[in-house]
Structure 1
Amino acid sequence: MTAAAADLLIDRPTMADGAALWRLAKDSKTLDLNSSYSYLLWCRDFAATSAVARDAEGEPVGFVTGYVRPDRPGTLLVWQVAVDAAQRGRGVAAALLDGLTARLAAERGVTAVETTITPGNTASERLFTSFAKRHGADLTREVLFPADLFPEGSHDPEVLYRIGPLTGAAR
């Protein structure tokens, strides 16, 4: 955990955190907001591959949701990252991502991270670029889902960021 985020506890989400994760995603104003039900399911079914940052009162102030890809068991796909506005700029997202990947490297042998980012999402671009640098890992980018694949017609393309192999430099 970074010094700036040292007063936060990073652990696994529980079902009781689902509503707070939904709120954090909604308040981010950049994430695709899923149904509140999906965050409850995520906290039940993918808690082992996700992380939540808690403040001194135990309330969630940030999260990373992810899963290990079934066809690539050494790869963590990061689904969403969100941090409460009052906690931004303190290294919370980086601490969550570093903590989660360290845990999954130890528990499941994860050596790579993937995520998708829409063009212009500067905060996410910086987070994952700096993550790759901290871990001494290669970073490649390619469009995974072109805009025309999305049914609503107004979605930006999703660019796949592949990071790996992780060297453990930040672990």
Structure 2
Amino acid sequence: MNAAQDDLVRAESRSEFTVMESPGIEDGAALWRIARDSEVLDLNSSYSYLLWCRDFAATSLVARGPGGEPIAFVTGYARPDRPESLVVWQIAVDREHRGRGLAGALLDALTTRVTAELGIRRLETTVTPGNTASDRLFTAFAERRGADLERTVLFDGRLFPPGAGHEPEVLYRIGPLGR
């Protein structure tokens, strides 16, 4: 068994979360807090997380703890010009629930759902060169799915506002899904 499969076994055998489901607008504040506390993700406005939970709930998931509180999330959308491609916008796990394979389990659950319901065949996301956890997550995902993984720079760091000090965003294209 490889490390990615081991992560999934650990995630599937845990009883710390009760359900993975589409987020509701009442989850927006918790998603904003989880993203903020990640200390890795670009933090969007709290308003944007409310909109995300309303407008992109069908292509997003939240994992809930035993009391129903959000403990992790993945947000995505179908590209308007390529509706067969799911863009994963953000994925984050609350600090006390990290290291147990929950991010991989969320990613697998979401892509299984959108391939069946929406005909999604490819996954796209961006990862900065310094984000080794996301690189490992998406590389392992491609391996589990037996899918090809292409990496190209999508947004060079110079495209961001002056003084932002933003690393390049590397586009990961994974597919085809559903093999």
Task: Decide: shared fold, TM above 0.5.
Answer: yes
Partner of 2:171: 160
Q: By how many angstroms is 1:152 displaced?
A: 3.8
- The within-5 A match list for 1:87-166 is 87-153=97-163, 154-166=165-177
- The within-5 A match list for 1:53-92 is 53-92=63-102
Q: By how many angstroms is 1:101 displaced?
A: 0.3
Structure 2, unaligned stretches of length 5 or more?
Answer: 1-6
CA deviation profile, 1:62-118 (whole Å, cap 9, x unmatched): 000000001111110000010011111111000100000000011011111000000
**Counterparts of 1:58 and 1:133, CA distance in 2:** 32
Report how many residues are paired. Answer: 168
**Counterparts of 2:21 and 2:8, CA distance in 1:** 15
CA deviation profile, 1:19-40 (whole Å, cap 9, x unmatched): 0000000000000000000000
TM-score by length of 1: 0.95
Whether 2:42 is the aligned partner of 1:32: answer yes
Identity %: 65
User: In the alignment, which of 8, 18, 22 is matched to residue 28 of structure 2?
Assistant: 18
Q: By how many angstroms is 1:151 displaced?
A: 1.1
| Residue identity opposite 1:4 in structure 2 | R
- RMSD over aligned Cα atoms: 1.2
**Counterparts of 2:101 and 2:110, CA distance in 1:** 14
**Counterparts of 1:157 and 1:98, CA distance in 2:** 26
